[in-house]
Amino acid sequence: MNDTPQKGLTIRDVAEAAGVSITTVSRYLNGRYEAMSEETKHKIEEIIEQLHYRPNPLAQGLKGSQTRMIAVIVVNISYPFCVSLIRALSNAVSPSGYNIVVCETGGNGEREHQIIESLYAQRVDAMVIQTNGENNLRLAQIAVELPVILVDRQFDIPDVTSVITDNEESSFSLSHTLFQEGYQNILYVTEQVANISTRIQRLTGYLKACEQNERTPWLGWMTREDPASVQHVARTLNDSLRQDPIAVYTGNALLLEKLYPHLRTLQLSIPNQLGIATFDEPDWIHLIAPRITCIRQPVDEIGMWAAKRILTTLKRGRVKPLSRHTIQSSIVIGDATQLRPQN
């Protein structure tokens, strides 16, 4: 029998020959035998010997040791929340000798799955992820072996901690403040909530404020990639103009970024005819006047808390499970929602 390793063999070839997944073979090669039967271990070992497979040392990493790499998986790498989160995480883990690798999913569940599997195979030491919820089962499996932290999104996944802001409470507080300021109606602009916890919670906060202030909810649905939906929301505001002032409140700053140019073309007086507010505080919001009222998320604190928990777990081993950690946001009142007495 030829004992020379066959050129071109990949981990996929081993997985197919053994009748197991690529992930299972990767776990075997890296000494991660948790939840792996003896039969499976022996089968993989046998196939590796038969094929004379030799793993790439660079891809495999140092067996049984840390790679000192932490994965950060976000939906939109250009989104200010994600930029600030990445910076905070990097600054927090660097002094301990860890680096981060950043990947973007675009909100696509299949793409997210591919990224998760690729990073897992590369043996990152931890994952911080802004997930859409389609890969929760896989994240639960990975969390048995390494720290997994959800940011900005909350899902009930065993052994996984979500670190979020108080979305519902902050949204309620801002909406209530606008009603108390004198705005008779508030158009809440949101994307389809789907299964995204942040969207659900922010909408819930707004609806509760409407109920407490005895106002009828007024919703505008937008798709950021669809200009027609943006224009429709702007027309809705213009067509609903009455004697009493109204306000528009967007569920995130990405929506406001798309909507704001259309609002300026309506030639409505801000804030006396139209108030403008948003969840999030992007950098560009400081460049326009009157300044828009916003909810400032504690992104730096979220990043630092996630980093601290990861570093503690890597140093001490598994820590006590914590399903959710909430950090409070704050409301920043701008001139765009401060009604002035009419002369």
**pLDDT of 172 above 80:** yes
Degrees to nearest 5, angle at CA 318 with 310 and 155: 65
User: 307 falls in which pLDDT band (50, 70, 90)?
Assistant: very high
Using an 8 Å Cβ cutoff, are 35 and 45 in contact? no
Query: What are the tens digits of pLDDT across the range 63-91?
Result: 445 788 999 999 999 888 999 999 999 99
**pLDDT of 340 above 80:** no
Which residues, 6+ apart, have CB-to-CB distance to 118 below 8 Å? none
Query: What are the tens digits of pLDDT across the range 113-134?
Result: 999 999 998 889 999 999 989 9
Residue (of 9, 11, 119, 122) closest to 59 by Cα position:
122
User: 189 falls in which pLDDT band (50, 70, 90)?
Assistant: very high
Q: Give how far the C-alpha of residue 302 lies from the chain's centroid of Cα atoms, to the nearest Å.
A: 12
Written out in words, the top-level CATH class of the domain with range 11-60 is: mainly alpha
User: 45 falls in which pLDDT band (50, 70, 90)?
Assistant: confident
CATH architecture observed for domain 69-165+299-329: 3-Layer(aba) Sandwich (3.40)
pLDDT value at position 61?
46
CATH code 3.40.50.2300 region(s) in the chain: 69-165+299-329, 167-297+331-337
Q: What is the mean pLDDT of residues 162-186?
A: 96
Q: What is the mean pLDDT of residues 220-238?
A: 89
- How far apart CA 65 and CA 62 sit, in angstroms, is 6
pLDDT value at position 13?
85
pLDDT value at position 329?
97
CATH code 1.10.260.40 region(s) in the chain: 11-60
* Fold annotation for 167-297+331-337: Rossmann fold (3.40.50)
Please say whether the dihedral angle defined by the alpha carbons of residues 281, 285, 289 and 292, taken in this order, is positive or negative: negative
Place of tokens 């140092």: 62
Lowest mean pLDDT among 30-34, 69-73, 134-138, 310-314: 30-34
* Long-range Cβ contacts of 311-318 (<8 Å, 24+ apart): 311/92, 311/93, 311/96, 311/98, 313/126, 313/147, 314/66, 314/125, 314/126, 314/147
pLDDT value at position 90?
95
Place of tokens 């897992």: 120
- How far apart CA 293 and CA 285 sit, in angstroms, is 9
pTM above 0.85, yes or no: no
pLDDT value at position 321?
67
